[in-house]
Structure formats: structure tokens, C-alpha cells
Structure 1
Amino acid sequence: MNPSKLSSLLLTLSLIFISQASCALYEEVCKAAAEESARCLQVLKDQPRIALAKNDMELSKLVVEFALKKGTEAQNYLKEMMKTNPAPAIKDCATTHYDGVVGSFRSSLGELKSDTETANYDAKAAGDGAETCDVALAKAKINIPAISALNKEIKLISKIAFLATDRLPEQ
């Protein structure tokens, strides 16, 4: 093989390897989100630290930290809304249901290094609080699109955290 063909072959192989390596870990997690893949990518692409995660543990930690931050922000939003709309269902969402969301994300974060199965379970369970909030609001015939959107986002983030932590080896 002449040197120019060899150089061309090596260049082609290098480009193939680079293109394969360029798929960020969070993109792999979002692929696993199936029908919510596009929404997952939309949520995570603006998180530069998550996009640069080098391994599954780092990715899981960053995703769960992000989830905890978003869950806390959502709870604070609901607590503010509760001041102007004191409906019992909104109060339950702001306190009981979102206490569960925040607590589950916090627990997941705390378990990442010592008990990955529990961390994974807690990441998934965090979405239950947002789902229960939706149910409570529906039963009370309260339709506030901002809360519905918030709950939808938290359920997605819970799924993403579950999928990220599911990649960790069992300990």
C-alpha cells in the first residue's frame, strides 16, 4: 500500500473513532428515554457539566444534583403559589408531594456511591410526588397549566435520573 493510501485509511479510521466517541453519555441516557428522547435532550443539552461527564458515576451525580435543584425550585414555586391560591390540593402539592420529590432526589444523591440500587430506586420514586400532585389537582378540579407543566418536567427529570443511575454497576 502506498503512503498516501495508508494516510487516507488512517484518517478515515480516526474520523470514525472520533465520531463514535463524540456521543456524550447524556445522549445515550436520552436514547433510552424512548418516546421522551427529544425532551430529554432539550432538558440536558443546556447543562454544560452534564454534557461533559466522563463516566457513568459522574453523569449520575450531575444528573441527580440537577434533579434535586429542579425539584427544590419546583417546590419553592408551589409554596409561592400557595400564598395566592390557598387551595388544599395546591398546599398538598407544595408540601407533602414535593417533600417526597425533594427527599427522594436527596436520598438518591446520598446513596450513589454506597448503594446504587437504592439510588436508582429513589431517583425513580421522586417522580411519584409530581404524579400524585397531578392526581390531587385533578380531583380538586384545579387546572393550572403552569403546575401541570412543572409536574411533567419533574416526572421527566426523575426518569432521566433513573436511567442515568441505572447505568451504574450494582454494589
Structure 2
Amino acid sequence: MSGPATPEPDAGADPAHDDDGLDLARSIARATASSSPAARRKPRRGNRDGGPGRGRVSGAHPDDRDPQLLDVTLARLVGDRGWELDLRVQGVFGRWEELVGAEVAQHCTPETFEDGKLVVRTDSTAWATQLRLLAPTVVRRLNEELGHGVVVLIEVLGPHLPTWKKGLRSSRDGRGPRDTYG
């Protein structure tokens, strides 16, 4: 009956030295390391949980599983969802006074932006006329902020006025009182 394999003493070793203790353990570990089942096993591909992976393995180098900075995560979310233009347009709405000037912003407010058309509401008919005259300049300024060709048209709406279509003394196709309200 054969016992556990004892390693052969090294050729350059001292013959008076007896391999026992720590030296014996090291030499046995070296001899059996290459024949262990763990050494023969191929490296596993995939995630730590063994699920389908993308060939990534854990290591000391950063990867996308590590904690990320908030601005990097938000930029990736905005890019994945296609919200870049919407965010830039809402940024223009928030900086409207800075972009068009304090006096114009006091009398005109943006309402909607869709398919290159910006709808702006004014507080009087006089300012509606004024903004129609300023429209090419405003379009140029907005396209500098948003990118070339984003804003194609500015639709200017006048103030919200009372309707004269209802009541006891209303007439069909009547123009109402002859006042401009502003």
C-alpha cells in the first residue's frame, strides 16, 4: 500500500537538512497545485452570479458595475431616453428673460414648443405686433442656444380675451365691442 507522495529532495538542498514542518508543507502544496480540480477548471465567463454575461470578470479596475457619479448616470439616462432636445428647450423656457431681454420677457411668455414651432403668448396686441417684427432675431438667438434649425417658426398669440359668443344679446358672426383690449 502506498502512502502520500513525498516530494523528492531538491538536488541543491543540504543533505543534512530534513524536510519537515513548513518546508514539507510548501513542497507538497507546489506538487499538488497543478493537479488540483480548481487549477484544471476553466475560468468561468459571465457575471458573479453565473448568469448570462458579457465576458466581464470582477477585478481591481473600474467597470460599469461600480458606483457612478450622478452626472454620468443622468447623462446616460437622458441619452438613452432621447431627452436632450426637450431638456434644452425647457432650459430656454427657464432662461427666457436672459435670451430675449427683460422688456420683451415682461410682456411675452413661451407656451409650447413642438416640431420646430415655438408658440409665444403676449399680454397685448401691441406686443404681439412687436414680437412678430422681432421674430427673425429671436429665432436666430434661440437657434444659437439650441442648435441650428431647431426653432423654425415663432407663432405669436395675442392676449386671452373675453368671448362675446355667449349670452342673451349675442349675434352670430358678431365682432363684439370695438375695443382692442390693450
- TM-score normalised to the size of structure 1? 0.26
More strand by share: 2
More helix by share: 1
Q: Which protein has the larger Cα radius of gyration, Structure 1 or Structure 2?
A: 2
